[in-house]
Structure 1
Amino acid sequence: MPSTTVIILDEYPPPPQSLLDALGRMDAACSALTLSQLLHGPVAGLPEADVLLAPARVPGEGVRSAVRRLRLRAGAPTAVVWTVDDFEDLEAHVRLGHDYLVPPFLPALVGARLQSCSERAELGRTLREADARAELMSYEKELEIGREIQAGFLPEALPVPEGWEIDVRFRPARQVAGDFYDVFELVHRRRLALVVADVCDKGVGSALFMALIRSLLRHTAENSGLQHLVAAGRSGGAIPVVGATPLLNAVTATNGYLTRNHLRQGYFATLFFAVLDPLTGSLVYINGGHNPPLLLRGDGSAPVPLEPTGPAVGVLPDCSYALGHTRLDPGDTLFAYTDGVPEARCPDGSFLGDDRMLDLLSQHTGSGRAVLDRMDLAVREHTGEAEQHDDVTMLALHRPRAARGPHATGKAVA
């Protein structure tokens, strides 16, 4: 294996034969590139090198720029200039910190000089790798801190009214997520708010907006008035809904804030935000451009999608949101999810798909937890050894046919 790798700058004048012979005697690995190739060619195509060997007649700034380009590829090559008689040009290079070779080009002298350059290049590579490892460790530490902070925005325990069951599955694709869910009480604990949302993109940026949007929604809903609004039922009748005012205020105010202050960042969120009356099973909701949650009837009939009632939040200023309304009867389950479920990818890249998801949900005969277990298993089996490409969030709201005793809390399952 060659002890030194050398790029010979293919510019006039060519290296004297005695210098080339000395390189051959020391078994150096040599390649030739022009200055134009080094400065303007693709970085990925540049070879790794310990030494850039250049004639002293090439301007010093050109040699220094070529070394910088090589350092983008790997290592820390040393510029070594040679000359037979252009000593004024050589002095200019020495002032820039370049090493040099002058006659006689004896193998032992050339070998010793280039071996020293090779050792310096190896030291430079080691230092760069150490810096990269330290930077990676610092980045991972910051991500872990971000994950812990984000976890604080998700409910550790879910307030579950008597006679109801709530279960959640939440699996981020990365250390921080753009998906989120929330369950909290409204209207002096007479209503229950349920949110499932998906901020566009992935990583730290979407996680920051997740925290912002979640906080805006909850704060506005919890501090809104208690006026009665009227929602249109599926049968077309008018149904008075307590809790609709906090719902509308939260979504419209969040959309207004995002479009006024953060439109330039380009982040938005699809969301499903519902308010439940635990006594009657009445559910009023806004679907802001989100995957339609599915109402699974206890009688085994086809799942009923709760279609969008407005756009995603953070996209259109001053847009309006309509209220949707439905009812959960004993035995019914509401299944809300993010697109990480139907878009789960197997190793060959194909999606789980909406049809497969609907087929699995059509088999619903039990609790909400059973629905999530079935879907979670299907997603994991479909993904297999492939990388998880998107956050996976699922929430099931189930109304048992017969009360199973009071529930104090529910818990999310990762």
Structure 2
Amino acid sequence: MTSTLLTNIGELLTGRVGDEGPDLVADAALVVDGARVAWIGTAAEARERPDALAADQHVDAGGRAVLPGFVDSHSHLVFAGDRADEFAARMAGESYAAGGIRRTVGLTRAATDEALLANATRLVGEMLRQGTTTVEIKSGYGLTPYDEARSLAVAQQLTPETTFLGAHVVPAAADGGAGDAAAYVDLVTGPMLAACAPYARWIDVFCETGAFDADQARAVLAAGAAAGLRGRLHANQLGPGPGVRLAAELGLAAVDHCTYLDDADVDALVDSGTVATLLPGVEFSTRQPYPDARRLIDAGAHVAIASDCNPGSCFTSSLPFCVALAVREMGMTPTEAVHAATRGGARALDRDDVGVLRVGADADLVLLDAPSHTHLAYRPGVPLVAGVWQRGRPVLGRV
């Protein structure tokens, strides 16, 4: 195994909490041994440690900031085509609805496995260049047992965090679907789940008006749990609804969107520990109201930020952009927003080995061309990522 001493770090944001150690270390250094973080301290301390100085490689960060790799806990990367015309129509005043999903379904079914993998690989590469080292990928643009399973098989080649989202929308009878929600839920919880479970870690449902109601979502999640899949949920994106409280009741790892929340929803999130995953790129792209992150944080809820990269409601792969939106539009501080996009995303995926820099964690690091993580919001749209290490291996660098 190769070891690396990364020193002269102007600011190290670790994401550590409590007795794990300080969250922010100035004039810092760290040692990577193989795929893991082996030591964290100051540059002055490193100069006094023979084990640190004995590292195989020394990298001078030049006073720049280092933070954990971003953890994108919500994306839809296995698809074909785009829906740029829908975006243009929304910007001209049309409202967003979930119906465009069916258009992507048709394009995705017609694409080859090779084309789907090539497109998803391209998007994962975009994410990596912007500092995302862990990504979750959902199915949901196949909506038949065969097409959902092949979508997940593609996703599994890119990440272990794969999510079966057969319950995305109900395909119309003209599209080979059952034509009604009850019959489609039977398909999702029966043959489709059986085909998809071997390729998935998670199961998800779009619990929303125009998609699936709470009882249908509960049935899908229960079937997934019986098949060994952990649950997550899309909810309260298009309006108030029961999805957030259902996620809390079931103890799901995360419930995503959370745009429309009442006091009972917030209390349920706090009491359950279910992560509220906020997707500010969606609100940017659809002109819907932004979620009130400040309200959630002040109440004590766990919050994550993810991209929701998809061809319809939000075609961005950039978590730095989402961090800037969260600060500008959702009442978060720069530190809170970066934590939500790192350790918050890790919590949403039930992971403690990513999204944080502490001894024993994966050495997923982002080096910024800036002295502080605050520049991610301070300089929105600027390509600040100067280097990326994934499990201790440099995968991007202009150090």
Same fold (TM over 0.5): no
The higher relative CO (CA closer than 8 Å, separation ≥ 6) is in: 2
TM-score after normalising by structure 2:
0.28
The structure that has the greater radius of gyration is: 1
TM-score after normalising by structure 1:
0.27
